[in-house]
Amino acid sequence: MTEEIKPNAIYTTEETRTALRVSESTIKRMLKRGLIRANKVGGQYRILGKEILRLVSPDLERKAGKMYMQVKKKVVGKINKW
């Protein structure tokens, strides 16, 4: 998908995956964890363009970085206890 993402357009998981340049398993994981809000229609997810744009925003990147550091700190703490 080389066109501009329209906020009110509806995209499939394949179109979203292409736009974000991530694997199929990553999209599934993002949907399962609620990182991407979507509606299921006929057994397939439909994602609003707003959601895709929200994912690529700088605010979300900062939030993801902060969450990553929290998880990393927790994991390192558990490993160090061994």
SS3 state at 40: strand
What are phi and psi for residue 62, nearest 5 degrees? -65, -40
- Please, what sign has the CA dihedral across residues 46, 49, 50, 54? positive
At 56, the amino acid letter reads: V
Q: What is the pLDDT of residues 2-52, one digit of tens each?
A: 578 888 999 999 999 999 999 999 999 999 988 899 999 999 999 999 889
Task: Tell me the domain boundaries of the chain.
Answer: 10-81
Q: What is the pTM of this model?
A: 0.64
Query: How high is the pLDDT of residue 60?
Result: 65
For the structural domain made of 10-81, what CATH number should be given?
1.10.1660
